Amino acid sequence: MLLDLVKIFMPTTLAFFLGLFFTPFAAHFFYKYKMWKKYSRNGNAIASDFRKIHNEQEELRTPRVGGIIIWFSALFTTFLFYLVSILFPSADTEKMNFLSRNQTLIPFFTLLLGSLIGLWDDFIQIYGDGRFARDDKSWRKWKAGLIAFISLLIGLWFFYKLGMTSLHIPFGGEIYLGILIIPFFMLVALATFSGGVIDGIDGLSGGVLASIFAAYSAIAFANNQVDLAAFSGVLTGAILAFLWFNIPPARFYMGETGIMGLTITLATLAFLTDSVFILPVVALPLVITSGSVILQIFSKKLRGGRRLFRLAPIHHHFEAIGWSPYKVTMRFWILSIVFAIIGIILAIISR
């Protein structure tokens, strides 16, 4: 038990301090090469409320690839412990290695692939021209297609390599899906990615995602999936390092290279821990954020253009009605911590 806890907390701590060390060099590079958006969201904004709360100059002068710090720190830490176990083989170093085929290999490559595709998207918005550089609806459809393709590959691995055919229902046994687990994973991955619109206020996404991944570390540990718990912990540590520099005013934004990799990995962790139906509880702030956008769209279509919220996503609605960004961020953090704890409890007692 004690060694298992060391296996989780040591890499988590290392990822945090590695992120702190790496960030000043990365930030210097981000600013040197002006890695911020070329076009402001104000150019596409219809609602005057958005123009009132949005600082266009800040958006066009703040790098948007800060997610590199998260996935680089997490992947480097994971690879470092693996490399040590290879170069200095012993019972202790092999025990500390948490890169395993049945638990963390898929999340490792999911994070890497999703983050690199997200980085490509960021580069389009930094250096590109035309509709895609402005992140218009057609480009968002392409991104959704990429997410669907990646999740298809992961779903195939779940079904054919890991033999995953059913999912646990809290307090209700299991539901058999068979090969339908593949499209179901695709649906969950797309839904989780849609919650990525929470990256809209300094520090908001970092605090929320840190709570979520910390919760999945605890859930994996409760399932005796120590390797997966360590990997989730490493992501938590890396996100906290990012958050250290993202407290308002942010030095950089997470960008798609952070959001895309993290959200797909989150969906993967939910399946590997067999706690998919707990995910909406643990990640409630993401659900609320994504749901507010969907409700706003339906309201406009069904109510003759009338909006349900002043702005969507909902964190911008609270800004529009007078809440300060600090108040919105802190209250979302509190909600995230509370529901992460509730999710952990439900995952444990519902077995």
Instruction: Give the start-to-end residue ranges of the domains of the chain.
Output: 2-275
- Predicted confidence band at 73 (pLDDT cuts at 50, 70, 90)? very high
For the stretch 274-330, pLDDT in tens is 999 999 999 999 999 999 999 999 998 888 888 999 888 999 999 989 899 999 999
- Main-chain phi, psi angles of 252, to 5 degrees: -165, 160
What value does the mean pLDDT take over residues 139-145?
Answer: 81
Q: Which residue has the higher pLDDT, 190 or 140?
A: 190
The pLDDT assigned to 234 comes to 98
Confidence (pLDDT) at 152: 95
What pLDDT score does 30 carry? 93
Query: Which band of pLDDT confidence, cut at 50, 70 and 90, is reported for residue 140?
Result: confident
**For residue 50, is pLDDT > 80?**
no
Q: What is the pLDDT of residues 234-249, one digit of tens each?
A: 999 999 999 999 887 8
pLDDT of residue 45: 47
Model pTM?
0.94
With a pLDDT cut of 90, the percent of the chain lying above it is 70
**pLDDT tens-digit readout, 6-37:** 999 999 999 999 999 999 999 999 999 988 88
pLDDT at 46 over 70: no
| pLDDT tens-place string over residues 258-274 | 999 999 999 999 999 99
> Considering the chain, what is the average pLDDT of its residues?
90
